[in-house]
Each structure stands twice: as C-alpha cells, then as structure tokens.
Structure 1
Amino acid sequence: MGSLFSRVYDAAMQPLEATRFKQVRTELIGKAKGRVLEIGSGTGINFPYYKNAIRVDAIEPNPSMSKRAGDRLRNARVQIQVHETGAEALPFDNDTFDTVVATLVFCTIPYPIKALAEIQRVSKPGAVLLFFEHVRMEPFLLSKSQDLLNPLWEKVCDGCQLNRETLTLIKESGIEVTKVKAYYAKLFLYIEGLNMEK
C-alpha cells in the first residue's frame, strides 16, 4: 500500500499544491533558518522552498516516498540530507536544530506524543517549530463525518488519521504556540511555535 500511495500522492495533491498550499509552504519554509530538521519529507515537496537554511536533515520512514524525491533533492538550493527513519526516535544529538518543519505528516505518525518529545529534545532552546497540518474540525457534523470516514481513510491513505487533534497535542507537549492560521474551514492549520522544553 505504501508504494502505491507514494506513486499517486503528488498527483492527488496537485490541485491544492498549485494554489493555496504553495502560498502556505512559501511562507512557512521561508522561516526555516540555520540547521533545520524536516519531519516526514515524503516526496520532497518542501525542498524547492528552502532558501534560508544552512543545512536540512529530512527524515522519511517510507523508502517509496523518499525515492520519488530525487529530482527535488538534486535541484534544492540548500544542502539536504535524507534519513530513512521515523520521528519517534530521532538519530540526532540534543540541542541540534534551530528550526523544525513538519507539513501534512503528523496525521500519519503512529506515536505523535513521542515524536513531539523527540522534536523538543533535538531542538535548541527557543528553536522555531513550524507545522502545517490537517486536523479534526470543530463543527460537530464535520468532526463526526471525519470519525466515520477515518477507518477507510486510514487504509487508503497509508495510515493517515483524518481526525487527529494535532494542535491540542502540540500545546499539551509543552511547545509554546505563537501563531495559528486556519484554512478550508479550519481543516488545515498553519502553526508556529517555540521549543520551551529546556
């Protein structure tokens, strides 16, 4: 399933990527500076947007996804190293990164609380943490629809949880949320935060 998902992912996302998502990624990735960690780089959709980073370490546990990032990796304007590993046990020292980026990935991480703890461990004090995620919606009928669709969605979309309350998890992890912007009836959230767990 993971291999099939990787083949269709870019095509399925193209209508959104060509419009609003391009604007969001430009703004979000433009704020990534210094030594950067990207969580779940997938097919490398963020790679062309990095301009201000010194170096990017991108993690991606699905080899089928990372293989499809080849052209974007070769054409990147900054140095990017892809690591085939998950977010729950990051292979980096404490206090390594100035910025962490995660876009449309926390829905698929099996243990998001562990991943958020690891992000804080490997980030420097005061590091900037940048997220763009789809979340459980607030209106009851919409959130209930997400709950009903989730079992099928998870199977079709490589483990993606349609109804995960990622903003709540981020806040409860100890990250100081400094900015939130909502898109598409609050289905997608742009989140900026600071690593305060030191």
Structure 2
Amino acid sequence: MDKLFNKYYDRLMQPLETKIFGRIRKQLLSKAKGKVLEIGSGTGINFLYYEFADQVIAIEPDPMMLEQSLIKAREATVPIEVVPGDAQKLPYPTNSFDSIVGTLVLCTIPDPAKALAEIHRVCKPEGTILIFEHVRLNHLVLGKIQDWLTPVWKRLCVGCHLNRNTLETVEQAGFRVVQTTSMCRELFLVIEARIK
C-alpha cells in the first residue's frame, strides 16, 4: 500500500493542490530565506515555490518519494540538495539554518516532539520555522471521528495521523508562535514560529 500511495501521491493530491494548497505553499514559502532546511520533502511539491532562499537542503526518508524529489529539484530556480534523512535525528550542527520548513509532514513523523526538538537545535536563534499541517478539529463530534479514523488512516496513508494537535506540540517544543492562520473550518493550520 505504501508504494502505491507514494507513487500516486501527486495525482491524488492534485485537486487540493490546485484549489487550496498551492496558494498556501506559495505564501508560506515566500518567507523561507537564507539557508533553508525542509523536513520530509515528499515528492518535492514545495520546490517550485522557493523564491528567496539562497539554498535548500531537503530531507526525505522514503526512497520512492526521494526519487521524485530529485527530479523536481533539478527544475527548481534555487539550488536544492535532496538527501535521505530523518527529522527525528538531523545530521546537522546546532544553529545551521535560517529557515526550516515542514508541510504536511508532522502528521507522519512517529515522534513529532523529537523532530521539533531537533528543528529547534539546528535553527539559528533568529531563524524562522514555517509549518503547514492538517490538525485535530476542536469539535466534540468531528474531533472524535478523527480519533476513531486515525488507526485505519495511518495504515492507508503511510503513517499519517488525522488527530494531532500540532500547534500545542510546537509551543511545547519551546518555539514562540508568531502567527497562525487556520483554514477549511480549522482543519488546516499554517504556523510561523521562532526560537523563544
């Protein structure tokens, strides 16, 4: 199932990318400047939106998605290096990056708190963290439905959790949240954060 999902991910997501996500990515990634780390680059869908980055290092743990990222990196307007990697154990020195980007990825990382601790470590003190995620709805019924669906959804969609409270996890990781924007009835959240 993982191979099929990864192979057809871009096609499955195309309607959402066209109607909603593309606009969100463009706006969010216009804030990524300097030396950028992207965690979980997936198929490289973000790469065409980097305009102001000097350099992007994109890590991706899945070999099939990494291959797709490599193709899109060659078409990007900024230098992008795609490497295998795990956000929970980043192989970079402390204070290495000006901006760190994660889009629709913290839902799949087994331990997002550990990944955020690593992001905190490798981000420069004046750096920016840019996150776009789907989150658990703060609704009595709909939130419970997300909880109920998550075990099956994780198996179908390569470990994706429907019910994570990403904003709380970011705050607990020691970041100062500068701005949040919710959309689609609060199902999706864009977070801009900095080191406290």
Q: Same fold (TM over 0.5)?
A: yes
**Residue aligning to 2:168:** 168
Partner Cα distance (1:99, 1:133) in 2 = 17
Question: Which residue identity lines up with residue 40 of structure 1 in the other structure?
Answer: G
Structure 2 counterpart SS, 1:19: helix
Asked if 1:139 is matched to 2:139, the reply is yes
Superposed, which structure 2 residues align to 1:65-76 within 5 Å?
65-76=65-76
Partner Cα distance (1:153, 1:62) in 2 = 18
1:51 is displaced (CA, Å) by: 0.9
1:70 is displaced (CA, Å) by: 3.4
Partner Cα distance (2:95, 2:179) in 1 = 23
**Residue aligning to 1:32:** 32
Contact map agreement 2:70 2:82 (CA 8 A) in 1: no
Superposed, which structure 2 residues align to 1:14-93 within 5 Å?
14-93=14-93
**Residue aligning to 1:153:** 153
**Residue aligning to 1:126:** 126
Question: Which residue identity lines up with residue 43 of structure 1 in the other structure?
Answer: T
**Residue aligning to 1:181:** 181
Question: Which residue identity lines up with residue 5 of structure 1 in the other structure?
Answer: F
Structure 1 counterpart SS, 2:8: helix
Alpha-carbon RMSD across the aligned residues, in angstroms, is 0.8
Structure 2 counterpart SS, 1:99: strand
Contact map agreement 2:57 2:83 (CA 8 A) in 1: yes
1:156 is displaced (CA, Å) by: 0.1
- Larger deviation, residues 49-58 vs 2-11: 2-11
1:191 is displaced (CA, Å) by: 0.5
Question: Which residue identity lines up with residue 52 of structure 2 in the other structure?
Answer: N
Question: Which residue identity lines up with residue 146 of structure 2 in the other structure?
Answer: Q
- Larger deviation, residues 94-103 vs 64-73: 64-73
Structure 2 counterpart SS, 1:58: strand
Contact map agreement 2:108 2:160 (CA 8 A) in 1: yes
Contact map agreement 2:69 2:82 (CA 8 A) in 1: no
Contact map agreement 1:2 1:64 (CA 8 A) in 2: no
Structure 1: runs of 5 or more not aligned: none
Partner Cα distance (1:147, 1:94) in 2 = 36
Partner Cα distance (1:8, 1:153) in 2 = 16
1:2 is displaced (CA, Å) by: 2.6
1:71 is displaced (CA, Å) by: 3.0
TM-score, length of structure 2 as denominator length: 0.98
Partner Cα distance (1:2, 1:9) in 2 = 10
Asked if 1:191 is matched to 2:187, the reply is no
Question: Which residue identity lines up with residue 79 of structure 2 in the other structure?
Answer: Q
Question: Which residue identity lines up with residue 42 of structure 1 in the other structure?
Answer: G
Question: Which residue identity lines up with residue 29 of structure 1 in the other structure?
Answer: L
**Residue aligning to 2:104:** 104
1:3 is displaced (CA, Å) by: 1.7
**Residue aligning to 2:3:** 3
Structure 2: runs of 5 or more not aligned: none
Partner Cα distance (1:186, 1:124) in 2 = 30
Structure 2 counterpart SS, 1:21: helix
Which 4+ runs in 1 deviate beyond 6 A? none
Structure 2 counterpart SS, 1:138: coil
- Larger deviation, residues 2-11 vs 18-27: 2-11
